[in-house]
Amino acid sequence: MDHVDSLVCTLCGAEYDPDQVIYTCPNHPGVKGILEVTYDYDRVLDRFDEPLDGAIGSQWKYRAFLPVDDDVEPVTLGEGGTPLLEAPRLGAELDVDLRVKDDGRNPTGVLKDRATAISLTKAREFGLDVVTCASTGNAAASLAGFSARGGFDCRLFVPGDAPEGKLAQPLVYGADVLGVRGSYDEAYDLSMAVTERFGWYNRNAAVNPFQVEGKRTVGHELAEQTREEIPDWVVFSMGDGCTIAGGWKGFREFADLDLVEETPRMLGVQAEGASAIHDAFHDHDDADEVADTVADSISVGRPRNAVKACSALEESGGESILVSDEEVLAAESLLGRTEGIYAEPAGAAPVAGLRKAREAGIVEAGDSVVVVVTGTGLKDTRSAMRAGGEVTAIDPAIDDVVERYGDAD
Ligand SMILES: *Cc1c(COP(=O)(O)O)cnc(C)c1O
Ligand SMILES: [Zn+2]
């Protein structure tokens, strides 16, 4: 891995060997000294000889940028390479020039697959065969799917209130699913304690320095796909904050290396009931730690990556905004009926945030915007039913159809 320099602590600057299994900087007991992977970009560029022609088979097109050993066979289900769709009807509704990056089309239905593939490829490189994480659902399902693919033992800590569809999926993938009677934050603390005691490989967002590196590929892809017309804004939802941080880092790298001409501003969207990153970005220090929102994937009380997320917003000249649960559900149905894209609540939250940002004058009429849909709606049918309205019951009689649509001419 001579294209990877080191792991650097974001708090004290201490450096660690990237070939060592380490999660956070040990110089800060009780505090999270998040580690950042740094690269030798001359070496990265030497290794990168792919044409930026928009043909993206999977995220492994950007292998030169990924912190994995050349000799290791990746654990992959073909993640990444998701489409960037023009969204004229939704764009007209919101009065912007809109495109949608549909990352719900990843193998387990979520952008997190990009990160999971890297985590498990690292686990393979380190020779570890038991893996774990804490998750409100999507990370668990993703880790379980890729574990099955790579032949790992997968043990998951899931909070009691995760949607049923998201638990069915890891069970089918053959994982041990441990339903923790408690919150996501409690499940998370337990998974960390377990990692320390048993040495299982931990995919948890933020503390695993490699997993977030996989999320950069959504930024690489966005840069490549929008190269001819870089948007004014890219909109992400924020839970722990890794996704927006990774997406920004990927896009920025391509601009730094002159592969694209400029960078977009990042718009980060959180739910009113889980607003810690927004609060930190706007210097409100009254953030309570209890998260409560229909958008379960971003229902995080204590985000593990608020620092990196705030840097992404700041460096890009971006903004953050809050949306209510009603606005999220309305956005889920608006996205579905205008563009045929079925998102889970956290995947539709950026659409709600964009509408709010238009109303607040943050995003202006006619701006060019890319919304990133992070997860499919297929796993969370209960929320979808709340968003989508009701079935119309009729008798098996032609008269009932005539009554609804009028008779044939
Ligand atoms: C995890 C997740 C997010 C948020 O990502 P973070 O890295 O936690 O900010 C957003 N949407 C979906 C669908 C997710 O699963
Ligand atoms: Zn440190």
Separation of CA 215 and ligand 2 centre (Å): 23
Q: What is the pLDDT of residue 342?
A: 97
Q: What is the DSSP letter of 362?
A: S
106 is in an annotated binding site: no
Distances in Å between the Cα of 213 and the Cα atoms of 93, 207, 263 are 35, 12, 19
Our mutation pick for probing the ligand 1 site, out of 102, 110, 277, counting the most ligand atoms within 8 A of Cβ, is 110
Q: Does the C-beta of 304 come closer than 6 Å to ligand 1?
A: no
Residue 258 lies in a domain: yes
Q: What is the pLDDT of residue 286?
A: 58
CATH number for the domain spanning 227: value is: 3.40.50.1100
Q: What is the pLDDT of residue 291?
A: 85
Q: Does the C-beta of 239 come closer than 6 Å to ligand 1?
A: yes
At 249-306, the pLDDT tens digits run: 999 999 999 999 999 999 999 999 999 999 999 987 655 678 889 998 998 888 878 8
Q: What is the pLDDT of residue 288?
A: 65
Q: Does the C-beta of 91 come closer than 6 Å to ligand 1?
A: no
Q: Does the C-beta of 138 come closer than 6 Å to ligand 1?
A: yes
Six-digit token pair at 207?
């503390």
At 147-204, the pLDDT tens digits run: 999 999 999 999 877 777 778 899 999 999 999 998 878 888 899 899 989 999 998 8
Q: If you compute the radius of gyration of the chain from its CA atoms, what whole number of angstroms results?
A: 21
Separation of CA 227 and ligand 2 centre (Å): 37
Establish how many alpha carbons lie within 13 A of residue 299's alpha carbon, considering only the half-sphere containing its beta carbon. Answer: 23
Our mutation pick for probing the ligand 1 site, out of 34, 103, 105, 111, counting the most ligand atoms within 8 A of Cβ, is 111
Q: Does the C-beta of 369 come closer than 6 Å to ligand 1?
A: no
Residue type, 276: A
Q: What is the DSSP letter of 104?
A: G
Q: What is the pLDDT of residue 220?
A: 98
Which is nearest to 374 in space by CA: 145, 105, 167? 105
Q: What is the pLDDT of residue 283?
A: 85
Residue 115 lies in a domain: no
pLDDT above 80 (res 363): yes
Residue 266 sits at the vertex; the CA angle it makes with 138 and 312, to the nearest 5 degrees, is 80
pLDDT above 60 (res 228): yes
How many domains, in total, are found in the chain? 1
Which ligand approaches the C-alpha of residue 218 most closely? 1
At 204-222, the pLDDT tens digits run: 876 889 988 999 999 999 9
Residue 317 lies in a domain: yes
Q: Does the C-beta of 110 come closer than 6 Å to ligand 1?
A: yes
Q: What is the pLDDT of residue 267?
A: 98
Q: What is the pLDDT of residue 210?
A: 93
CA dihedral 377, 248, 58, 384 (to 10 degrees): 0
Span 229-237, average pLDDT: 98
Residue 97 lies in a domain: yes
Ligand 2 (single-atom ion) residues, CB below 5 Å = 9, 11-12, 14, 25, 27, 33
Range of the domain at 307: 84-108+211-388
Which ligand approaches the C-alpha of residue 346 most closely? 1
Q: Does the C-beta of 347 come closer than 6 Å to ligand 1?
A: yes
At 64-78, the pLDDT tens digits run: 999 999 999 999 999
CA distance 195 to 200: 5
Length of the chain: 409
pLDDT above 80 (res 47): yes
Residue 319 lies in a domain: yes
Identify the residue whose C-alpha is closest to ligand 1 atom 14: 297
At 97-147, the pLDDT tens digits run: 999 999 999 999 999 999 999 999 999 999 999 999 988 789 999 999 999
Distances in Å between the Cα of 355 and the Cα atoms of 235, 320, 323, 360, 361 are 11, 13, 10, 9, 10
Q: What is the pLDDT of residue 30?
A: 66
Q: What is the pLDDT of residue 31?
A: 60
pLDDT above 60 (res 80): yes
Residue 224 lies in a domain: yes
Q: What is the pLDDT of residue 223?
A: 98
pTM of the prediction? 0.95
At 14-36, the pLDDT tens digits run: 999 998 888 899 998 766 788 99
Confidence of residue 234 (pLDDT cuts 50, 70, 90): very high
Which ligand approaches the C-alpha of residue 15 most closely? 2
Q: Does the C-beta of 278 come closer than 6 Å to ligand 1?
A: no
pLDDT > 90 in the chain, percent: 78
Residue 141 lies in a domain: no
At 328-342, the pLDDT tens digits run: 999 999 999 999 999
374 is in an annotated binding site: yes
Strands 201-202 and 319-323: unpaired
Which ligand approaches the C-alpha of residue 102 most closely? 1
pLDDT above 90 (res 388): no
Highest-confidence segment of 4-13, 198-207, 349-358: 349-358
Question: By the 8 A CB rule, do 132 and 154 touch?
Answer: yes
Q: Does the C-beta of 112 come closer than 6 Å to ligand 1?
A: yes
Q: How far is Cα of residue 49 from the mean position of the Cα atoms in its chain?
A: 27
Residue 309 lies in a domain: yes
